[in-house]
Structure 1
Amino acid sequence: MITAANPLSVDATAQSVGEAPRHSVEIESYSTLYAVLRVSGDLDMTARAELTGKLDELLGSGADVLVDLSAVSFMYSGAANAVIDAASATDSRVRIFAPTRPVRMILDVLGAGVLIVDNRSREWTSR
């Protein structure tokens, strides 16, 4: 017998849990000139619009943005291109911090390795 208490049952609650976003995009604003965009989860096709919207919001204010990708397990090329496009379309600086290995691979393939800030890069802190 399948009941609502049975984890194998299919009902509206189970469907809504399955439809929940598998990513999050959060803004941490430290001043009018600097903000961190913390991204986590799987950045599939459904994440691109939210990612683009948050980047536009931050860059519209003129802030420099550090995009923290340390908790991203998968990045669709369209989401990666959203970050790359934002970096090339503004006078503000957009840099990527701590991408996971799969994310770094896609960024390198797309030619965006120069946006990554790591311990070898002093450019971000020298401004």
Structure 2
Amino acid sequence: MAISFNNALGIHQHTVGVRERNAEVISTNIAQSNTPGFKSRGMDFDRALKAATSGASFGLNRTDGRHISASTRVTGEMKYRTPTQPDTGDGNTVDVDLERNLFMQNQLRHQASLDFLGSKFKNLTKAIKGE
């Protein structure tokens, strides 16, 4: 009997990748907090997760004929965040406190997904060994 990893691992195999991409977006916002004119961006997690579970992908443009063609998974549409603080005059919309909180929340959920995946693999290993 074959093991279906999609059934065995559930949605957590997809949430890990989407959470990692979300962490990149949030950390970029934090890194650009002093850049004049930078607009804070965010990801719609639900849409990104639906895109990841549907298997959608898109091709990457090659700028040179010698480049290897590649495709990547769709990880959600980036949108600009609605500013939560008044403009300081430089056009930057990053609220560092908000971004840090979002980053911490994302990391906790990422770790929870990793823990769920770890327990799934542990149980699969026990099943294979007959324990």
Pairwise same-fold verdict (TM > 0.5): no
Structure with more strand by fraction: 1
Q: Which of structures 1 and 2 has the larger relative contact order (alpha carbons within 8 angstroms, sep 6+)? A: 2
TM range (shorter): under 0.3
Specify which structure has the higher proportion of helix.
2
TM-score w.r.t. structure 2 length? Answer: 0.23
TM-score by length of 1: 0.23
